[in-house]
Structure 1
Amino acid sequence: MRNIFILPIAATLVAFNQPSPTMDTFKWPGGIQAPVAEKEAKVFVAHGDQRIDNYYWLNQRENPKVLSYLNAENAYLDTVMSGTKELREKLFQEMKSRIKEKDESLPYKDNGYWYYTRYEEGKQYPVFCRKKESLEAPEEILLDQNIMAEGFKYYSIGGRAVSDNNELLAFTVDSVSRRLYGLQVKNLVTGAIYPETIPNVEGNYIVWAADNKTIFYVKKDVTTLLGYQVWRHELGTDPAKDVMVFEEKDNRFYIGVYRTKSKKYISIFSNMNQVSTEFRLLEAAQPTGLFKIFEPRKENFQYSIEHFDDRFYVLTDWDAPNFRLMQTPEAKTGKKNWKEVIAHRKDVYISNMLVFKNHLVLGEVKDALNQLRVIDQTSKEDYYISFPETVFAAFQHINPDYNTNLLRFSYTSMTTPGSIYDFNMDTRERVLKKQTEVLGGFKQEDYAAERLWATVRDGVKVPISLVYKKGMKKDGSNPLLLYAYGSYGASMSPGFNSNIISLLDRGFIYAIAHVRGGQELGRHWYDQGHMFNKKNTFYDFIDCGEFLIKEQYTSKEHLYAQGGSAGGLLMGAIVNMRPDLWNGVIADVPFVDVITTMSDPSIPLTTGEYKEWGNPAVKEEYSYMKSYSPYDNVEKKAYPNMLVTTGLHDSQVQYFEPAKWVAKLRELKTDNNKLLFKINMDAGHGGASGRFDYLKDKAWQYAFLLALEGKLE
């Protein structure tokens, strides 16, 4: 999905006691010729409308001419940014120095073992470990990714699943960054990895049956990269003899398989994002049985399920746009048997549920803030967990244990590093178990966060979360980086990100515009920001920028914008609509060629997104998409300074979309502003796989912004 977004979640800091940056302290090198892509006209005709794409040829990934052009863009970037080399290294070392290199995750207990991940000093990848019963027990190393990744430019371990008898580990690996994983099994008793490898599977959907020998997994189409079949594999047998147990016939749906928290059922789900869902169930003790449909799919009808005791809880939008909670007997799962537990509310969106033996926990969103609601399974009494800050994010953490009264949740804010608590749901006592250590002298008390509400052009109030250093003066001189995503109903939480300290300590305000297209204010917030309402996302972002200027947090000369993936589409739209408003824009792996991509069902993930953007085969949907598609609306005019990024192996937004966009911008733009294109030739949508390597990409971005501000210290 293009909703695998690049998210620089909120951060912390801004140094405002420094003098306003002077714009002439950094001199960009001159006289450098930017690469010029050849033009080879390709004509597209739909609904009587003709589009000419002069750069369509760039979609030939293996073509030496294409690779030569991409390498030329990287060389141009290196030359233009050569004066920032020392700054980039300084930024990289700063960001790396804030990370505790020798660290480990908070252990969680599952089926008699404590599981955790640790990092060794100076190493890029995690080591996955466990201890039996006690944290004082000897450590067992499940997988050491540092050893496994040797010799690879990219290496990612996806899902990991341990069998019920604790003796076998199923895991997936991607060594290309196309999210085509290989499934393998390791014997945790002997340490041997079984010889069979199952290629081209979904990374995170692997499930053991209760017999300790049967694995269910999702097979992917190698062209579209869609998971479309669920297969059953018996350990020790030839994968060629595996049995397909489900095939999704509608390529608009994404699928997955998982084990219920109660361990009783294996469930297959089919999901058309924000439109329709369907679940199938099989008892884990009967792996060769048939999956049965929980409730048949229907258009504009969503539900999710959790097994509890002799019944299922059902979270559904049936007559409830913001969702309501229902329950139904285990043996009677049809909708006619559902009974309401928690009613629908117009101002509260129920995002998820978590079931324990004695408690039920709901994740709720109100006024763009995540909240946790605890319900006693017996008395039905409920309460909300309280938090001290006005701008924050709180989520359920890892809670595999069904028979416990302890809820583990995470808490963060734009000034509070990620914190994990154990919360006693009976006594309401909370214990801080771990807070991410931020090295390098960070002091939380030096910074402040705010929640603002910008009234946009149609009268709607859009929330903005921002963070700055105490003492900030609202005089319009502050550089400000405004981030947003605004698609797929994904809500952007105001959390902590230590990387942004490097910008904020140099005078930047960091802000998140919670634009329509997410669900920060409920389902209607999403409905007003997709399909025929998509332009609201762009207008909201522009109007938030105008608001921040009006309130003198910044000015046009110091206002910057950033978004990635579908948020990169947002960047492409706003530079076409209001190029004068931004001094600089960073578009990460941007989805910018909407019509061409959505017209080609062979391109990965296209068909599953018809309900997000539209289907170009429908004339009205085609026309609306064309009216905002960034690539189709590039014009002869001045554009702001821009840095565009991509990965050659990107499976979510193919590299050729930003490549074509940059080529067309170079052809038509009338300004002398910087247009830079950075291509990671070894990675995909999420960038480098190493723990620290991705910071080098981040250093490029920050150096770009700081150079535009004339600051190289």
Structure 2
Amino acid sequence: MLFRSSVLLTPVNPWRRQACGLVPTVFTVSRRCKRTLPQWKELPMLWKSQRPEAIDLHKLRIPEAPPMRPTTRSLPWGTAHQDPFAYLENVEDPDTVAYLDREATFTDEMEKLTMPLREELLSAMERLNVTGKEAPSKPIRIKDWEFYTRNHKLSWKWGHQDSAYYRIRVVPDPTEEESSTPTEEKVLDTRLLRWRGYIVGRFVVAPNPDYFAFTVRPKDDTGTETAELWVQRIADNGTPETVTIIPSILNFVWSGDSKSIYYTVLDERLRSSKVVVRSIAYEQDNHRTGKYPYQKDLVVYEEKNPHWFVDISRSKDDRYVIIHSGSLTSSEVHLIDAQTFYHPGEQPDVVPQPVLIEPRQENVEYFVDHHDGRLFILTNRDSPNQFRMMQTKVDNCGAEHWREWIQLQPHETIEDVDIFKNFIVTYGRRHALPFVQVHCMDQTGRSNDDGAPTDRYEIALPEKYCMVRPTVNLEYDTELVRFTYNSPFTNELAVEYDMANRRLRSVDGPQLQNVHGPDYQCIRTYVVGHDGVHIPVTMICRRDMEPSDQTPLLLHVYGAYGTSMEVEFRPETLPLLERGWVIALAHVRGGSDLGRQWYIDGKLDHKPNTIRDCLAVAEWLVEHKYTNPSKMAITGTSAGGLVVGAVLNQRPELFRAALLHVPFVDVVSTMLNPDLPLTQVEYLEWGNPSEDPKTYQLMQSYSPYANVPRVNATSHAVHSDSSTANSLQWPSIMVTAGMMDQRVMYWQTLKWAAKLRANIFNSSNCVSPGDYLATNDFDMAKNGGPRNLIVRMEKAAGHFKSSDKNKRSKWEKTAHELAFLVSEVEGLDKHVVR
């Protein structure tokens, strides 16, 4: 995005954003407690320049599990909840520090084994993701100016994405001579801020193009959710000057008159709970005259319900600031006149007043934007399984006046809207695939008398299996719409479409140079679930290959918060596709791939459906000989990690390897503690086990941490029969976590790993990798190799890792994970250093 980077959070509500801006949305929980990190052993970065060193196989000892120190918590109905590793939640406990150190040492030694493979995969990732020359950014018109960006030529060499923002006058200044040439003005240089230790996030130009604002984070930021907001003005000589700085904001918008900034803040539980306004005009006057006292920002709206969040946007026509308050299941919207001149010094009695559109109602969500005196409303009111477009006049905004604007088919739903003067664009999903429709008004920007469009048509997307994202379209009076699309074989490209002439203007972006899209294909199939539903599965592979039961396969799963499993570009999968792997995407319930009901059927009491769907897909892939259990790996992130962990507890023999990123594996302990930040918000997704014994029992039944089985001890013999060695029924597991994660606390991963280490991956149940390798006998068909548990705990990482956009650093970490998958599935005998 050119002028507004995506908000630094992942939306968990399936209905994303509104019209010209960031949609009011609900975000996944953050859990963070104040703590001081001890000096425990941190994993070293194994740079590509290092040479493989001799491996001391005697160091490859399976780490000792931490001691069990059970704690018991009594629940209101008399049940005793036991947790054998609760003390690992204390990062300063000596046993916690010692266990972290043991796992870090083992991970370090294990990853040295596959250093050549890691370098090979990193080189493949770099080669396959080489892009051509990036097209110049499209200028965006704001009043008399055009704004655009240029990337620094050498920033790519270091993996940074530094750029500079410029503007140039396109409408002659009446105060200047007609013959004068417009001068290009540099507005912001992100490279200079990087040198000062900051990373720039969102950049937003005000309706008055002399003002702009941008967010910054420290370069060494560990994934915090708030940022500092810098507000600047371009002086008459073209030099930017700082007007004010606002600390710790989550989201922000300009007022319609560019004289105020509205922003949201987090409370002590990391919940976005307030909308605050600061007068920029007041700040400027005070800088110039010094006659006003220090400004206390005004709270214009506060959400008292601890289960609800707030967010803000501004209508494209600059008429309203939109306050969206919502939970995971319901929402409510207030409008503020964006032209209200707020200046506590000159007119202290004039303050922004939010006006309610429709009172909140349980399980009803709605989102609002404005166009020509009408409100356009995206809502599931009276259609709980489908989001539809409604409209009404501003003067009659209550739900009793809402009228359906366009008719949808039962299998269609709208997810996003972008409003222009003469057109309205809707982004939707049909059969788990995206579509984009243009709705035409007449040339005055008006619709028919009943508010319906004069005409509508659908834009032909470049590829069937792809992901479409609305981008920032700041211009209101234009015939051009811009959005981005990508596919598994096409990195993100910017599409510019002429809505009036119904033709594609351009598709811009750095094209992949070493990937030939037609060499690959997507295949959509459906798997019948345990209760008869048809679960979509998208398989990605080379076009010239015929999958067989010897094909390596990686299964992706998520299934929570209504977030769909997108058929999108993932740069780390290209090396796997090149090696002949199949990538399978399971569109399980809990996401919104097939609409609202698909989400509802995978949450709360229906959460086991998500796990059963994943199992059904895995079993189908084996049954239909797309792979076999010795060649199949599975991966999931965050809530997707919960699904993977639960699936492993039930059918571990289906997989050879499992990769879990920041997994939400201890759902019960988390949801039993209402004092953790934002836990109460999650009750609408998972339930409240503290008050409902049925919810507690259900959670206990699928929680990965609560259900790790105890494997019988087996012989240490390397050549033990795999059919009778219970530990060999489990896959090797790599799990990653960040000590600074605000959403899934590090101790979830650590406690789960400790239980795995105690019950399965210990010296009594597993062959030591050192003993296995020392035999020089790599008969994978006979014994399958050792089963390994690798815990990658990063001391300075959060849920989304660092805010630094160093591509090289990210790919190096990804290469560790790919090396694990490849070595486990293709065979340690092919990929280890001895």
If the length of structure 2 is used for normalisation, what is the TM-score? 0.78
Deviation at 1:128, TM superposition (A): 4.4
Return the alpha-carbon distance in structure 2 between the equivalents of residues 207 and 151 of structure 1.
26
Residues 436 and 393 (structure 1 numbering): CA distance in 2 closer, same or farther, change over 3 Å?
same
Contact kept? 1:32, 1:80, Cα under 8 Å: no
- 2 CA distance for matches of 1:394 and 1:254? 26
| Structure showing the higher strand proportion among its residues | 1
What's 1:642 paired with? 733
Decide which moves more: 143-152 or 247-256. 143-152
From the superposition, tell whether residues 413 and 407 of structure 1 become closer, same or farther in structure 2 (CA, over 3 Å): same
> Cα deviation per residue 1:210-259 (whole Å; 9 max; x = unaligned)?
3433211111124x211111111233378771111111101111211121
Which of 167, 171, 178 is equivalent to 2:210? 167
Give the 3-state SS of the residue equivalent to 1:499 in structure 2: helix
Please point out which of 171, 179, 184 is paired with 2:230: 184
Over the aligned positions, Cα root-mean-square deviation in angstroms equals 2.7
Shift of 1:463: 0.9
Q: What is the rounded CA distance, in whole Å, between the counterparts of 1:239 and 1:631 in structure 2?
A: 52
Larger radius of gyration: 2
Q: Answer yes or no: is the 8 Å Cα contact 2:255–2:318 preserved in 1.
A: no
* 1:589-608 aligned within 5 A: 589-608=662-681
1:246 matched residue in structure 2: 301
Deviates more, 1:570-579 or 1:71-80: 71-80
Note if 1:712 corresponds to 2:831.
Answer: yes
CA distance in 2, matches of 1:451, 1:3: 26
The one-letter code sitting in structure 2 at the alignment partner of 1:40 is: R
Q: What pairs with 1:593-632 in structure 2 (closer than 5 Å)?
A: 593-619=666-692, 620-632=694-706
Counterparts of 2:643 and 2:382, CA distance in 1: 31
State the alpha-carbon separation in 2 of the partners of residues 434 and 66 from structure 1: 51
1:414 corresponds in structure 2 to 488
What is the CA-CA distance between 1:310 and the residue it aligns to? 0.8
Q: Report the counterpart of residue 508 of structure 1 in structure 2.
A: 581
Q: Which residue of 1 aligns with 2:165?
A: 129
Aligned length: 685
Separation (CA, whole Å) in 2 of partners of 1:103 and 1:91: 25
Q: Report if aligned partners of 1:29, 1:80 keep a CA contact under 8 Å in 2.
A: no
Q: Deviations over 1:543-572 (max 9, x none)?
A: 111111122111100001011011111111
- Which runs of no fewer than 5 residues in structure 1 stay unpaired? 6-26
Q: Do the aligned residues in 2 keep the contact of 1:322 with 1:345 (CA within 8 Å)? A: no
User: Within 2, Cα distance between the matches of 1:687 and 1:157?
Assistant: 16
Q: 1:170 to 1:462 in 2, by over 3 A?
A: same
1:687 aligns with 2:801: yes
Matched, 1:493 2:566: yes
Residues in 2 aligned to 1:450 and 1:279: alpha-carbon distance in whole angstroms: 41
Residues 593 and 631 of structure 1 are in contact (CA less than 8 Å); yes or no, is this contact kept in structure 2? yes
Q: Is the 2:207–2:256 Cα contact (8 Å) retained in structure 1?
A: yes
- Is the CA contact (8 Å cut-off) linking 1:102 and 1:118 kept in structure 2? no
Give the match's secondary structure for 2:810: helix
Query: Higher mean Cα deviation, 477-486 or 189-198?
Result: 189-198
Tell me the distance in 2 between the aligned counterparts of 1:129 and 1:99. 25
- Answer whether contact 1:515 1:540 (CA < 8 A) is retained: yes
User: What is residue 325 of structure 1 aligned with on the other side?
Assistant: 389
- Structure 1 525/130 Cα, relative in aligned 2: closer, same or farther at 3 Å? same
Q: Which runs of 5+ in 2 are unaligned?
A: 1-7, 13-54, 172-180, 287-292, 343-350, 443-452, 712-726, 767-786
Q: What is the SS of the residue equivalent to 1:241?
A: coil
Deviation at 1:105, TM superposition (A): 6.9
Tell me which residue corresponds to 2:115.
85
CA distance in 2, matches of 1:607, 1:582: 35
Q: C-alpha deviations, 1:577-631, integer Å up to 9, x for none?
A: 1111111111101111111112223323322221111112331222211211111
- Which string of whole-angstrom CA distances, capped at 9 and with x for unpartnered residues, describes residues 359-406 of structure 1? 111112111101011111245322222236442333433222111122
Pair 1:437 & 2:511 matched: yes
Distance 1:264 1:643 in 2: 51
Residues 1:387 and 2:387 aligned together:
no
State how far apart, in whole Å, the 2-side matches of 1:61 and 1:151 are: 32
The equivalences for 1:533-548 within 5 A come to 533-548=606-621
What is the aligned counterpart of 2:376 among 310, 313, 320?
313
Q: How far is 1:100 from its partner?
A: 3.9
Q: How does 1:202-217 map to 2 (within 5 A)?
A: 202=250, 205-217=251-263
> For residue 457 of structure 1, what is the amino acid of its counterpart?
H
> Equivalents in 2 of 1:234, 1:560: separation in Å?
54
Q: Secondary structure at the match of 1:519?
A: coil
Quick one: distance in 1 between partners of 2:183 and 2:570?
A: 34
Separation of aligned partners in 2, 1:33 and 1:393: 43
Which one of 416, 420, 423 corresponds to residue 356 of structure 1? 420
Residue in 2 aligned with 1:279? 333
* Equivalent residue runs for 1:561-576 within 5 Å: 561-576=634-649
In structure 2, what residue type is equivalent to 1:567?
A: G
Kindly provide the CA deviation profile for residues 497-543 of structure 1, in whole angstroms up to 9, marking residues without a partner as x: 23211122122111111111111111111111111111111111111
* CA-to-aligned-CA distance 1:451-497 (integer Å, 9 cap, x gap): 11111222111111111112212321110001021111111221222
Aligned match of 2:87 in 57, 65, 69? 57
Shift of 1:28: 11
The residue that corresponds to 1:9 in the other structure is: none
Q: 1:193 & 1:667 partners in 2: Cα distance?
A: 60
Q: Indicate yes or no: 2:130 matched with 1:107.
A: no
The one-letter code of the counterpart of 2:339 is: A
TM-score normalised over the length of structure 1: 0.90
CA deviation string 1:53-111 (max 9, x = no partner): 23222223466764554344222211111111232233233323424497467335141
User: CA distance change for structure 1 residues 248 and 61 in 2, over 3 Å: closer, same or farther?
Assistant: farther
Aligned AA (2:302): E
DSSP-derived class of the 1:534 partner? helix
Of all paired residues, the percent bearing the same amino acid is 31
3-state SS in 1 of match to 2:114: helix
What SS class does the counterpart of residue 576 from structure 1 fall into? Answer: helix
Q: Does the residue aligned with 2:567 lie in a helix, a strand or coil?
A: coil
Q: Give yes or no for contact 1:486–1:516 (8 Å, CA) kept in 2.
A: yes
Structure 2 CA distance for aligned equivalents of residues 608 and 117 of structure 1: 41
Q: Which amino acid aligns with 1:642?
A: I
- Cα distance 1:91–1:117, how it changes in 2: closer, same or farther (>3 A)? farther
Take 1:633 and 1:533, find their aligned partners in 2: how far apart are those partners?
18
- The residue aligned with 1:532 is 605
Conserved in 1, the CA contact under 8 Å of 2:552 and 2:580? yes
The whole-number CA distance in structure 2 between the counterparts of 1:526 and 1:181 is 31
Partner SS for 2:547: coil
Structure 1 distance, partners of 2:339, 2:537, is 49
Structure 1 residue 519 and structure 2 residue 634: aligned?
Answer: no
